[in-house]
């Protein structure tokens, strides 16, 4: 019979997921820590599957877990057929579809093997509901019965069914281990033991080893102490060409704080991934060129049949996963060496023009080699080495985040002059004026091509000039509305281009100036109802391609710029760009809003750094969701004390939910209370009723708001001297360099010369990066 869960005693794990408690305290056994010593977990510790500890699980929650597979497949194909920027990254969307299908099939097989069902009754019951299982499948998964044949399955047949289920689960974990972990949590409990049962019959089964690594029961929040890398090492030795297994081992090494080993595994996995991608592209290049041309032609017309890719042609998300994880590893390594890179007594003026509260001189700005003792020389040498490690790894992280962002698209919408011209022509057409057909293209509006619409579609109000409607027969003739103009397609950029040294010049201003707001209000007041309706039905506004980890990557990029000492003015530009993207970053209706540890750390860094980049608004205000197309932003109203109290309460709750250290109800309440105390202190400080405290003393002892990473970055921003990695005197200008103008320092030199193509050069982790 299948294992029965006790739903009445479920609790939440570190990622906010509901997990079952240990069935018995006796199941908790002694484990070996990293140093080989045996540790005894608490007998009251929960015993849960290892995959419930995986990071960023909350990023992959959403309605995709409950949608019927056929609906999810239709949405994935529709998403792919939309023009750039597609609402959701097609690679991730296709992965979700395949993971749902594989997990559903594995659930079917494992439940049948556990329940002895031989007929198709189980399949029908599994498809009865809208969830992963439906009511009937959940009952069978919990061993509560279910109809279907009376024949008893043989042990051999059960084993073959479990082998097939394990193979399907292994394929799903290969695609995306985070999304698959979320999907298996929503499925029947029989999946948790299926790989272990296969290993009992065949201990050398590689797929079963890989799946059991995720499903093995360990004490809650003790993954590092209770996890051995031996199963993954064995699978990698048997399958060295699978970068997905290297990815899993790298993530496990991150939990074990072996960051150099994790970086090496991720680099090797990227090399394998790119090698097989090049082989696949070389073998199918001609076919792809023909199919992509046909697909593009079909996407430009509403009436043609949508493209449905074969599974082997689905885009892969592995590269973006590896880039994101490796960037996070490099950022962590950089933060770990901050305290070693700074002297015990800091300078009076920190980096980027941030003033510190300390008044001691910089002890290592220009050390006097004669007066320094050998011990002081050695300490200074170690600080310079650590400083070099911080800058080098921060540059590596920045490079990987830029490469990650290059996989996604952004459009600023239509330029203001085109929108204004469009509104003018619609108003003329609505008033009965005939619009002359343009003789040339250039910057003029395209009045003839249906495919010129930004979303590749026509509303009922916009039809072709000859009245052709494709496969749909409309009662009204197309010539009746032939005078209404259409919109040209908006320009599309890779998101990485927005963070280059010279960003695109045609982006709308953000935050908007008073002049820009006045112009927009004047434009809106001149729009007719027809113009408003057409603008609302076309994608002429800002939009981007959503990825579940995009918000965290954007804020991590800002943290990297802090460590490489980007100038305050340049960092402000990057911060405004991140806020611009965050306000339109939405995974609805497939994903829920996810917590972002990096966003919480960035807010803390700006706050403790006394807003040295001079943001004019709070980060929450800058990242507030943009109004929907055709919807004017609400007029600001004066906030009542009750509304302000409620807003601050909700703000504290949201910040607590983004804290990675919140893992249960007690830590959640402590995090909220700590943030509310801070809000009260800031309110008293603003009213002049209390003297401000030193930045290092603001957190309460009950629950520290600032994470170790945020505290390290704040200290670096305040205290690190400007200059090269070694912190010594600046390099002399080359003979051909101009003598006038401000010279770029540190990060400006490095960030402006960063190129996405540089990621192809995989140097060993120990090597230095220019």
Question: What are residue 217's DSSP bridge partners?
Answer: 49
Going by pLDDT thresholds of 50, 70 and 90, the confidence category of residue 90 is very high
409 three-class SS: strand
Question: What are residue 18's DSSP bridge partners?
Answer: 12
pLDDT value for 677: 79
Dist CA 693 CA 683 (whole Å): 13
pLDDT value for 281: 63
- At 344, list the tokens: 């015990």
pLDDT digits (tens, 9 = 90+) for 611-620: 999 999 999 8
- Choose among 9, 14, 4, 3: nearest CA to 659: 14
What percent of the chain is modeled with pLDDT above 90? 43
- At 249, list the tokens: 């081992």
pLDDT value for 249: 97
Contacts of 245 (CB under 8 A, 6+ apart): 210, 232, 235, 236, 239
pLDDT digits (tens, 9 = 90+) for 208-266: 999 999 999 999 888 999 999 999 999 999 999 999 999 999 999 999 999 999 999 99
Q: What is the CA radius of gyration of the chain?
A: 29
**Phi and psi based region of residue 304 (left: phi greater than 0; alpha: psi -120 to 50; beta: remaining):** beta
pLDDT value for 314: 93
Q: Look at residue 591 and tell me whether its pLDDT is greater than 90.
A: yes
Contacts of 252 (CB under 8 A, 6+ apart): 223, 227, 229, 232
Q: Lowest-confidence range among 12-21, 122-131, 343-352, 646-655? A: 12-21
- pLDDT: is 407 or 507 the higher one? 407
pLDDT digits (tens, 9 = 90+) for 712-728: 999 999 999 987 544 44
Q: Look at residue 285 and tell me whether its pLDDT is greater than 60.
A: no
Q: What is the mean pLDDT of the chain?
A: 73
Dist CA 594 CA 600 (whole Å): 12
* Chain center to CA of 480: 47
pLDDT value for 409: 97
Using alpha carbons only, give the angle 194, 196, 197 rounded to the nearest 5 degrees: 65
pLDDT value for 124: 54
pLDDT value for 645: 81
Going by pLDDT thresholds of 50, 70 and 90, the confidence category of residue 19 is very low
* Chain center to CA of 363: 41
Q: Lowest-confidence range among 161-170, 594-603, 651-660, 757-766? A: 757-766
């Amino acid at each position: 019979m299948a294992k029965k869960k006790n739903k009445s005693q479920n609790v939440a794990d570190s990622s906010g997921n509901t997990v079952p408690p240990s069935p018995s305290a006796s199941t908790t056994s002694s484990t070996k820590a990293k140093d080989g010593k045996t540790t005894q977990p608490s007998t009251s510790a929960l015993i849960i599957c290892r995959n419930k500890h995986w990071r960023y699980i909350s990023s992959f929650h959403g309605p995709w877990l409950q949608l019927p597979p056929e609906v999810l497949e239709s949405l994935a194909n529709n998403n792919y057929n939309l023009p750039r920027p597609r609402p959701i990254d097609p690679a991730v969307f296709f992965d979700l579809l395949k993971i749902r299908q594989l997990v559903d099939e594995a659930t079917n097989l494992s439940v049948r093997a556990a329940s002895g069902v031989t007929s198709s009754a189980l399949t029908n019951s599994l498809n009865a509901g809208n969830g992963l299982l439906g009511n009937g499948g959940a009952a069978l998964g919990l061993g509560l019965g279910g109809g279907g044949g009376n024949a008893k399955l043989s042990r051999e047949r059960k084993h073959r069914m479990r082998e097939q289920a394990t193979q399907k689960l292994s394929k799903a974990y290969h695609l995306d281990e985070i999304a698959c972990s979320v999907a298996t949590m929503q499925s029947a409990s029989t999946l948790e033991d299926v790989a272990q049962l296969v290993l009992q019959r065949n201990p050398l089964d590689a797929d079963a080893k890989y799946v059991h690594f995720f499903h093995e029961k360990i004490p809650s929040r003790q993954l590092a102490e209770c996890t051995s890398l031996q199963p993954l090492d064995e699978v990698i030795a048997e399958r060295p060409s699978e970068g997905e297994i290297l990815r899993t081992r790298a993530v496990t090494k991150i939990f074990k704080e072996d960051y150099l080993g994790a970086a090496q595994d991720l680099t090797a996995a990227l090399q394998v991934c790119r090698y097989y991608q090049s082989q696949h592209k070389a073998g199918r290049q001609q076919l792809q060129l023909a199919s992509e041309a046909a697909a593009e032609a079909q996407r430009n017309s509403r009436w043609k049949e949508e493209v449905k890719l074969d599974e082997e042609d689905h885009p892969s998300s592995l590269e973006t996963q590896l880039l994101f994880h490796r960037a996070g590893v490099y950022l962590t390594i950089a933060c770990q060496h901050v305290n070693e890179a700074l002297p015990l007594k800091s300078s009076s003026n920190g980096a980027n023009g941030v003033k510190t509260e300390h008044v001691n001189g910089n002890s290592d700005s220009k050390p006097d080699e004669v007066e320094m003792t050998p011990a002081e020389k050695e300490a200074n040498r170690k600080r310079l080495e650590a400083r070099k490690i911080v800058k080098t790894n921060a540059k590596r992280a920045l490079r990987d985040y830029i490469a990650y962002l290059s996989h996604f698209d952004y459009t600023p919408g239509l330029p203001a002059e085109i929108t204004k011209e469009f509104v003018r022509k619609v108003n003329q057409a609505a008033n009965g004026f005939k619009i002359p057909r343009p003789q040339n293209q250039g910057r003029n509006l395209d009045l003839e091509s249906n495919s010129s619409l930004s979303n590749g579609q026509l509303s009922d109000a916009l039809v072709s000039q000859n009245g052709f409607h494709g496969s749909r027969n409309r009662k009204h003739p197309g010539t009746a509305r032939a005078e209404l103009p259409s919109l040209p397609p908006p320009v599309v950029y890779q998101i990485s281009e927005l963070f280059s040294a010279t960003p695109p010049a045609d982006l709308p201003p953000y935050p908007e100036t008073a002049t820009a707001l006045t112009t927009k209000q004047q434009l809106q007041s001149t729009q007719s109802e027809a113009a408003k309706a057409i603008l609302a039905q076309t994608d002429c506004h800002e939009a981007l391609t959503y990825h579940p980890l995009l918000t965290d990557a954007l804020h991590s990029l800002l943290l990297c710029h802090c460590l490489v000492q980007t100038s305050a003015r340049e960092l402000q530009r990057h911060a405004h760009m991140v806020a611009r993207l965050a306000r339109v970053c939405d995974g609805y209706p497939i994903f829920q809003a996810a917590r972002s540890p990096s966003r919480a750390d960035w807010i803390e860094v700006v706050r403790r750094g006394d807003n040295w980049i001079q943001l004019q608004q709070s980060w929450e205000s800058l990242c507030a969701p943009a109004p929907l197309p055709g919807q004017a932003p609400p007029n600001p109203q004066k906030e009542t004390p009750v509304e302000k109290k409620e807003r601050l309460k909700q703000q504290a709750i949201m910040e607590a939910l983004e804290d990675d250290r919140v893992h249960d109800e007690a830590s959640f309440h402590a995090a909220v209370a700590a943030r509310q105390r801070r809000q009260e202190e800031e309110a008293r400080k603003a009213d002049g009723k209390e003297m401000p405290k030193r930045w290092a003393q603001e957190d309460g002892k009950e629950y520290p708001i600032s994470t170790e990473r945020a505290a390290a970055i704040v200290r670096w921003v305040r205290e690190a001297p400007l200059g090269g990695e070694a912190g010594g005197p600046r390099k002399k200008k080359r003979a051909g360099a101009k003598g006038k103008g401000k010279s770029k320092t540190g990060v400006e030199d490095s960030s402006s010369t960063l190129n996405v193509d540089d990621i192809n050069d995989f140097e060993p982790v120990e090597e230095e990066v220019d």
